[in-house]
């Protein structure tokens, strides 16, 4: 099975560290690396605010999925990792992920974590989508 590794323009490049998306053309699937609230320059967006970080993450997800030839309406599974987890931070994160979507929500897992790879990042979203 062939694999296509993508690092789309508009996402902060991390060469040698990760591919933002890996497409399995024969399976019709794309796997995204966990997306965080990092803009194309590598700067954090929404320091201290779960909802603002989720909005940047949605932008990153849209960019990566478009490069793979799909969009959020084709998301099969999402895993949301939340640092500093409190029930009240879940609503703005889910609202950001559903914004603009008219399809039923995908399968989903929400995981409260002690920390992500750097303490200022509060949300990370891992996506599998159909092409």
Span 52-65, average pLDDT: 98
Query: Could you tell me the domains of the chain?
Result: 4-130 (3.30.1330.40)
pLDDT in tens, 4-22: 999 999 999 888 899 999 9
With cut-offs at 50, 70 and 90, classify the pLDDT of residue 100.
confident
Q: What is the pLDDT of residue 101?
A: 83
Q: Positive or negative CA dihedral for 106, 31, 68, 55?
A: positive
User: Is the pTM here over 0.75, yes or no?
Assistant: yes
Q: What is the pLDDT of residue 126?
A: 97
Q: What is the pLDDT of residue 72?
A: 95
Span 72-90, average pLDDT: 96
With cut-offs at 50, 70 and 90, classify the pLDDT of residue 42.
very high
Whether the per-residue pLDDT at 96 is higher than 90: the answer is: yes
CA proximity to 127, closest of 23, 14, 16: 23
11, with CB counted inside 10 A (0-12, 13-18, 19+), is: buried
Taking the C-alpha atoms of residue 96 and residue 102, their distance in angstroms, rounded to an integer, is 13
Specify the pairing of strand 75-83 against strand 29-32: unpaired
In the sheet with 123-130, reading across from the earlier edge strand, the strands are 4-6, 21-24, 29-32, 123-130, 75-83, 107-113
Span 120-125, average pLDDT: 98
Whether the per-residue pLDDT at 106 is higher than 90: the answer is: yes
CA proximity to 20, closest of 30, 4, 7: 7
Span 51-76, average pLDDT: 97
């Amino acid at each position: 099975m062939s694999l296509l590794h993508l690092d789309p323009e508009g996402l902060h490049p991390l060469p040698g560290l990760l591919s933002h998306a890996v497409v399995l053309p024969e399976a019709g699937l794309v796997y995204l690396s966990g997306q965080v609230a990092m803009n194309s320059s590598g700067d954090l967006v929404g320091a201290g605010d779960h909802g603002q970080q989720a909005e940047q993450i949605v932008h990153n997800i849209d960019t990566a999925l478009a490069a793979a030839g799909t969009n959020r309406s084709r998301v099969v599974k999402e895993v949301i990792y939340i640092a500093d987890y409190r029930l009240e931070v879940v609503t703005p994160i889910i609202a950001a992920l559903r914004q603009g979507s008219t399809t039923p929500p995908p399968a989903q897992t929400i995981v409260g974590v002690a920390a992500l790879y750097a303490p200022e990042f509060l949300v990370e979203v891992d996506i599998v989508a159909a092409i």
